[in-house]
Structure 1
Amino acid sequence: MKTFLTKIAQLGSIIDVTLLSSRGEGLFFYSNSRELPAGKDSEARWSEIITSLGNPVTADFVFAKGRYFLQQTTIGYLIVGMQNDSNLNKVRIACNAVSKKLSDTSICKQTLLKLLTDTEELLKPHVIKELLPLADRSVASTLLSLLGQRDQFKANTRDKLLLFICQALGYCKSPEAIEPLQTLLATDKGKLGQNVARAAQIAILQLKESQSQMPTGQSIRGQSRSSQSSHDRPTPSSAASPKNEKTVSTTARNRSSVPNLPEAQQISELLINGSKNEAMTLLLDHISVAAKSRNFIKAEHLRNWLIEIDSMAVGEIIRAAEIIEEERKSAINNEDLNTWQKLIDNISAEAFSALYHAFTRQKFNTGEMIVQQGDLESTLFFINSGKVQIQMTCGGKSEPVSTLEAGTAFGAEAFFELSVWTFGAKSLGAEIFLLSHDVFQKIVGHYPALEAKLADFCRQPLQSQPLFARGRKTRRHHERKTANNRVAFGLLDEKGNEAGRVAKGDLIDISQGGLALSFHASQKKAAANLLGKKVQFSIFCRNTEPLVSRVGIVRAIGSHDPIGNLYSMHVEFDQQLTPTELRRIGVIEKAPS
């Protein structure tokens, strides 16, 4: 990990590289500038900035003396400072590779153990704090090694470091630590601070307690000789060649993720035989071939495999990303680039390239309906050439409300907000790029800010049309009234019978023709599955009034409070409510929305 971070620091224009823990404490500092010293001031400054940004997954912003890129990881935040943006894309790729690798708990633990061994003494207590949730025998082994070096600790950090070592050993459930801790208390009695001595005593008690709870027949090493695993049992090959053991274990760990491709067998054999460098070179060659043949899905699969084989191979990882990106850009013709320049300016060239190669291209004849009002269609439409007429149906009559031209997109409401189509779209002779919701979800994982930027771009053309805005208002036939009654609801099958368990929510507003309510769902996908379904509703009334029941169709699902998994459901009744029923519900008058 330290080598990887140092390699990032060696890229051109880098000012500094910082790794902060989830607590905002420094785990690693590397600075090429004397003007930016590491320490408490630096930690506090970055913690304040990250908090003010709302703890983002990634962030990219400019300071007076340069540019910074932040990447959230399972450990904390990786922060890279640059004099300019000449290597910004390389930094993004490298940081993303680090984040992806650290999501594996075992690799995260190995990384922290390496940091504990290599990092400066002042930062070691911070690393030990991050290791506490991962405490086990391997952590205990590294901590005991560090404890054995205590005579070399600096006076100003000695007590603090010993305190954290003792506390962490108590959680490792490793009986081997009891004797070294007893030795510490016996030989360093006059040197130990009161807190350190107490921590050592408590750790010994914890370890003895965990030892007493071991199954009968288990040895001091943690398992009986007969049950010793192959992982703990040395073999001739592992004793003679530690390098080969590491290569084979890495290959075995990644075997489940080996792409199902013709090239995979040859590369796997090279890895098993310990020829990792040759395997990496061959992988790069295949990535280049796949990218040049416009098979970008295959190229990405191979690149992900390269990262899993060796996340520290910064040069190869960056080169693979550059090969794919260069070929993606060259595959976009200049005419299309000109058409979509405004979109590119909004979302970045890299994000547009990913979208472009995910599009499905389709031509629509003049007069052909692309989508009908009321359809359930989770597709986003990008007009590459020609024109599209937007229509709204009200009172059985369809009227045009806007005409969209090349370089614009439509369908944001149904795509991003999970609703039926509230308007129709008719081709006036157009070539359109189609983007499915499932494909988009795979892309947005690599570009966290893409969804919000794309949604804003797609909404702009229609939001600026007064006829469209007026048409949306006139579609509401009945006055909506606010309410806070509880509502029970359950799905119905095609025959009108109950098809699942009954859930409950709270009214947001209600009219004669429908209602909106809020409800909890464990996942967005579960909420989205209600769209277009027939549902039975029972509305609780005031006092002892009987329930008001209706069947309705779910026309839209919205994110009411994503943090609390709270969603909104918008429903059209199959039979209008009567004024008497509205009075029983006890609605409050509200101006038409």
Structure 2
Amino acid sequence: MADDLNIQTALGAVNLFMSTVKNCRLYPESSDIVRQSLTSGYSRLATLFYRDAPFIVSEAQGSILFDGKLLDAKSQRMPQIHSLRLLMQALNLKSIVFDRSIDQENYAKASRILSMTPEEVDAQGGVRKVFEAEGVSFVSANHNVFLGAEADEVIESDEDFFRRIWFGQITELQALAYITRKTVNAAWLSSVSGRFLTFCADKGYEPNDWDTISRLACLNGYLVRAGSEQGNTAIFPLLYERLEALGPWLNADLLALNLSEAAVTKAVEHLENESFMLLAARLLLVKQTQRRGSRLVGRVHIKAYNDASDWILARPRGSEFSSSIEALRSREEAAQNETLARIEAAIEGLMVGESDALNDLDALAALPRVMAERTQQGKAQEVERLIQAVSLAINLEDEAKSMAAVRVLLQTAKALTGLERLDLVSRVLGPINLWARYQQEVTPLFESASDMMVNHIHNLVVGGQYGEAVPFMESFSLMAQGRLKKDLHMTRYAERTLRRMASERVFNLLMETFREDTDGHRHQASVVLALLGNIAVPPLLDLLRESEVMAERIRVMGVLKNIGPGTLEELTQRITPDSAWFYLRNLLKLLGEIGGEEHIDILEPLVTRREEQVIDAVISCAKQIGGSRRVRFFSKALLAVPDRVKPRLAGLLAQFGDDDGVYALSAVLRSRMTGSPEEKDKVIKAACSAMGEIGSMKALPTLQKVVDQKGLLGRSRYTSEQKRLAEEAILKIRHAMSKERSAPKEKEPDARVKVTRDYIASEEFGTLEAIVSGLISGGKKASALKVLLLMVERAAREKDFKRAERYKARLSDVDEMALGEVVRAEEIIDQERCFVDSGEYMETWKDFYALLTEEEASGFYHHVRNEVVEVDTEIISQGEVSNRLCFINSGRAKIVYKDDARELFIKEMCKGEVAGYDAFFHTSVCTASLVALSRVNVGFLDREVLTLMQEKHPDFLGKLQSFCGQFNNLTETVQAKGLERRRYRRFHVKGRVVFQLMTDKGTTVGKSFTGVFLDISEGGLSAVVKSSGYSMARLLLGRSICSLMKPGEGAERFSVQGRVSSVNERGENTISIHVAFARPLAVSSLEALVTTS
């Protein structure tokens, strides 16, 4: 019995088994290590067979179970259990069963097979095929959770019952026992199939999905058998009617997928004639058309329906009513064809903006298949339009419609995964990922979406497409870190999902790419590692210790810094006094970047280390994280460090200016120093100077003793120079005290709350605003200004710049003369707006900088202006003149073309790409918009700056054009996607047109000028005009202009308002000017121009 299993003994057996698998992977079969592992592993496993039952290890929902019992959280985190989970997920195994008759030979075979890579196993047909080929006995590997005959625990609820049916984790004994208890309630029997369909829908499966069909047939088969065993003949007629009401094919599914069950065939035999004939007709229709309604039945499943059709037609009533059955089949076929036509029309309508398909269950169920088929046919544009139409149905205000759209996209993603179209899978999962971010509970549909994204990330990483995996991993990383506010259950689910994403194979590939820069994907791999959070920390810290390459260590520390607080638990455990100095120095540098005041105690045992590098790292780290506890730390350290370090710590205490530092400095002066005379002299001088800087009267007694002290025979311990410094310190302290007495006394600050930077960082902004208001009302303006400045700093670091600006404005409200605080606030905000990590920046643009000379690179670096752009903000606006290039340092943006209310997606731009090429290098207004999809850090290169750069570095322009041109020639991109931005047909015409520049208010500017027509449409015209130069012609861009035209002799002239959209060189002193009309030209006017030209 499972209850008799000793869990600790089982854990020991599994730990040794996983060690054996690992050794089989690493060492030759003949090695002593492998032989010893096999012997000890088998011996430990044999200790479990005191029970008369097999030992079953299974994996479900990311957790490990022994004999169906879930291991506790601590056991789940054990390294070998974690490795076992990753192994089973990689091999798509749900359970491994060890029979009590297993011998060491079969134990060895199983261990060697499970040590193979997933690719090797897949190439041989899967684990079960390999087991069969190798003749493995008494060990079985299963793709479903295995339940032994003893698994007879009671099922408590319908939800549990449905879940077990869905995952195949139920025995016939359990199912029949549960149903027997429930069938006394006719209402339960009548509703159970419908509620199971709802359960399936919640998991993202439509009624026509094969997973739903097969599981519902399984459930109904159990219902029929339960009725048969009870002798309840009323169950099947009631069930038949209910299934008929739910869908026309469900009874056919029941028979076809349970044909071997005598209870089911016997129940069908007792159907009334009309029901019998209709069932036979539908099965015959499936056999002849290989369609189950709108769904094609694949080769794997069609045999079941063929056999069921042959069986029912071979019954006596099948022969007797054959003509009636044929007539019913014809009627059902006509209805099926009508349904197919309706679905086709609805789907075609969806591509042109109609939404009927989104309200049609048959059309929704057919959409994934249609998109997969059209993908195979190369109809990429149609597939894109369908994906976009379904994605637009995801609306947080209409939950039912959103869930239906998510289900369709999930099924589409599964179908496209089978076609190995990872690009389209990413496109389909994008809207689902966004939907998942807004969910507030772990529903079955959310679980299905998570499972799909886990599978997709695995495929992307294996395929080397790390950048594509980032948005999906980012969502779960934000949830796990609490940056997307979720409840505890959802946060933990997100953590488990991240661990599933980081399977052993995926993680090894990420680390390999990060180290070797495989195919130039190191940066993307580092981003993914950072998103994995604390999962990636131990291996990265191991690499930091072991790496002999400085550049690699810097990269590792960069990733750990990006992980942030998730690094701290493991990091602090590794900071120990006996760590190697080179490793400890890097750990302390990391702690200084991400640690807090609460970690300063970790540093105390390290101040006695002899290595200068460690001492320097400890001091730097304490300064960064110490906060209000720095003075206490450095005061204690001052008494423990070697004499050569004490002057430095004394200087720090002087900077902090806290009275508490005086006691430590006094103790140093009283102590017997063991260093060289030069070191002693430096310590005494530094201590005296520090006391003077602190300015506390508590230092006067000690300093006076230095001045007055005399030793034996009239000799003093202190030199005249040291005494002089002590006297100066005394004078400085007394002067400060005198000045303090004469100054008006300010009220004591509120001692109830000690407002430090750490307090500001941890408290809600609402509470901080209340504290500021209290300080102001209490007349404590200086304290209020200090708190407000800290609030500006926090808001800016959190990139909440609107809040930071609001607090900056309030500084002036508190005190109009607080100019210093206002300037400092502006500096903080500007610094955070434009912050770009230099190492990451250089890695991002290394290809461009490789083209430049040192002088060009320096000039470009200092002239690029970095800004942070928030989500949904337009970086480049369609129709406007652009005088700057956009270098995307981080984040994602999209290029879209706006046509009235319609917005066409052209492409997505990511970190390391350049936008605005066409409008910057060609004389035209922006023909599309660049919109931020996430917070984007973008560097702007202005045209004026480019002119200056070109004067100093003549070759720079050519290098810039060459590099930027590779990213986004918009015209080529649009042509490649098959998009058409022109709304009107162009006509070539002859004649002249007179242009007059206008102000936006409608008044004329300058003289008119004449051009020769090139072409014209309802939306605009182009003409050739003379120009004094290309630079002057560029000034026309975006200007309002009036075009005066005359169709022919005797016709009246007419004018059209518009705006110059493009200017192109055509030859010496000649340009073409392109005008977009403010409103479409009248058709009659266009016809007059075209027919008379």
Assess same fold via TM > 0.5: no
Which is richer in helix?
2
Relative to the length of structure 2, the TM-score reads 0.22
Which is richer in strand?
1
Q: Bigger radius of gyration, 1 or 2?
A: 2
User: Which structure is higher in RCO with an 8 Å CA cutoff and minimum separation 6?
Assistant: 1
Relative to the length of structure 1, the TM-score reads 0.40
